[in-house]
Every structure is written in structure tokens, then in C-alpha cells.
Amino acid sequence: MGGYLIRRLLQMIPLLFGITFLSFLIMSLAPGNFFTQLRMNPAISPELVRQLEVQFGYGDPLLVQYGKWVWRVLHLDLGMSVAYRVNVADLIAMRAGNTIILAVTSMLLAWGLAIPMGVLVALRPNSWLDRGLSFAAFFWMSLPSFFFAFLLMYLALQTGWFPVGGTISVNYHELDWWGKIVDRARHLVLPALVLGTAGLASLMRLMRANILEIKEADFVRTARAKGVPESVVVRRHILRNALNPFVTLAGAELGELLGGAALVEAVMNLQGMGTLILEAVQKLDTYVVMGSILIGSILLLVGNLLADLLLTVVDPRIDFTRLQREG
């Protein structure tokens, strides 16, 4: 296990270098930088603008800027935000929690609905339930996520059941600990529904296909021939093996949700990583963009690693020796 972990961690290093350098290069292609708009202000002298550029490291060539940024990162310093005037690490820490909670909640919601729905339709193939849910799944996949977001926001405004936008209420700090939990949960319902149900249909179809394939496997036929009750066959042989692809997809699924959270956060006015990156790109705040991309990439790579490790727990047939050879 130790050798496999070390190998995977070492593989992350060139990936992170490639991702961050490409992101740095793209940001450098933007016309001007944060200080360009300051030059348009006649009340600010060009000498002061130049001094600020040098102070924040924007006056160096591309490779020099990237090298200095990497050196700071190696010393656990993500730099200073020129737009927000705070440390980038502190800024990301304030926003990352909301996005991670939203992504994890959305994934659990999607799995909690997709898995039982996929089991129901797979155990009754070609039934009215199978055809109805399959049609609904294809129809749902054709709808854009923002349409569902606006629909939920409209219903929330009409009913007042859930707050529209934001992560906490105005009186949040006056509530007790339980009231704070309930308040955050109520603000999380709508964005989690939008983000979680976006991939619900495809996950349900995946579960259905897995079960239909495993139902015809030799070990399932053998279990039935031995007189094993059908409920045990489904629970211990079919369902357990059908869940393996979900475990494998967990890391990638979490990464997609982190990326998709940007749209949900923008539509519903949530203070998260997605809106932070969008704001930083608009303001050409390079270090905030780079810090956010770096943290997001690390979360994605670590998520994939944890998914592979969890797969060895779910499926005893997979061991670290084989994973190390394939890695």
C-alpha cells in the first residue's frame, strides 16, 4: 500500500505543474492586468501604478512570475490578492467550505436517488416503471441545468419554503447552534437539488446497465442454482458488484460537481469557489485564479486517489499490488 500511495502522489506533481503553468499562460494572454484600469484613473500617477505592479510581481516576464509563484507555493504562500487586498489562502478558505459542502451534498443526493431508481428499473426490465423512468431520464438529460435552477427559484419565491440565494440568513449570528445548522441546510436545499439532479439521469442509467449485465453473470447463476434466496442474491452478489463503477467514478464525479458548482453559485448568488474564480478572472486577479485552480486540482486528484483506495475495500478482488502494476 505504501509503495502505491507514494507512486500516485509522485504522479500528481507533474500534473499540477502542467495544470498551473497552462492556467498561468492563459491568464497572461488576457489584455492588460489588474493595474491596467488604474492607469485610466487620472488621480493615480503612472509611477504609483508601476510601483504596485513591481510590488505584487506583475512587472516580471511570464516565466519569472510563474517561477516566483511556484516558489511561494512551495513555502505554503499563495500570494496576495490585488483586488481583495487579502491573502489568497485566507480568501480561498472563506469560500472553499461552501463549495465543498455543496458538491458533497449534491453527490450524496444524486447517488441516494439514482442507485435505488436504477435498481428498481433493472429488476423489472421492460416494465411500465422501466420505460417511464427511462423516458423521464432522457427528457431530464435534455434540459439545461439553469432552467431547473430558475424553476426552483420561482417556486421558492411563490411558496416561501426555502430561501433564494445566499448561504446564510441575515440573523444567522443571532441563532443558537441548532438554528445555524437548520439555516444553512435550508439555504443548501435549492442549489443541491440543481447540482445533484443534473447527473441523476445518467447515474440511474449506469446503475441499470450494471445490474442487467451482472444479473447474467455466471456467479449469479451459480448462487441461484444453490438455492440462495433472491433477496440475498440481489443484495450480496448483484448490488455489491454493480456499485463498483460508482466508487471508481466518485473522484471524477466530485470534480465535475466542483466545476458545475460555479454555474449554480453564480445563478443563486452563493459565495463559493466558483464565483470567486469568475470574479477573479473578470478582475484579472491572477494569484486568486491560480490559487483556486491549484486547490481545485489537488481536491480532484486526491478524490480520485481516495476512490481507488475505497474500491479495494468494496471489492476484495482488487489489491494494491495490481493497482501498482496498472498505475
Check residue 315 and give its pLDDT. 64
Number of domain units in the chain: 1
Half-sphere exposure of 285 (CA within 13 A, CB side): 24
Residue 294 resides in a domain: no
Residue-number span of the structural domain to which 230 is assigned: 89-286
Check residue 219 and give its pLDDT. 85
Check residue 140 and give its pLDDT. 75
Low-confidence ranges of the chain (pLDDT < 70): 1, 313-327
Check residue 14 and give its pLDDT. 94
How distant, in Å, are the alpha carbons of 23, 58, 217, 218, 306 from that of 293?
Answer: 8, 19, 43, 46, 20
Check residue 110 and give its pLDDT. 87
- For residue 210 the three cell numbers come to 450494471
What is d(CA 319, CA 27) in angstroms, rounded to the nearest whole number?
42
Residue 54 resides in a domain: no
Residue 321 resides in a domain: no
Q: Are 295 and 20 in contact (CB under 8 A)?
A: no
One-letter amino acid for residue 170 of the chain: V
Check residue 192 and give its pLDDT. 87
What is d(CA 297, CA 255) in angstroms, rounded to the nearest whole number?
8
- Residue written as grid cell 507555493: 73
Check residue 15 and give its pLDDT. 93
Check residue 321 and give its pLDDT. 57
Check residue 229 and give its pLDDT. 86
CB atoms inside a 10 Å sphere around CB 310: 14
Residue 39 resides in a domain: no
Check residue 90 and give its pLDDT. 92
- For residue 193 the three cell numbers come to 437539488
Query: Hey, CA dihedral for 173, 176, 180, 186, is it positive or negative?
Result: negative
H/E stretch holding 186: helix 177-198
Residue 199 resides in a domain: yes
Check residue 70 and give its pLDDT. 94
Residue 30 resides in a domain: no
Check residue 327 and give its pLDDT. 52
Residue 57 resides in a domain: no
What is d(CA 191, CA 203) in angstroms, rounded to the nearest whole number?
19
CATH value at residue 175 = 1.10.3720.10
What is d(CA 25, CA 230) in angstroms, rounded to the nearest whole number?
58
How many separate helices (H) and strands (E) can be counted in the chain?
16, 0
Residue 203 resides in a domain: yes
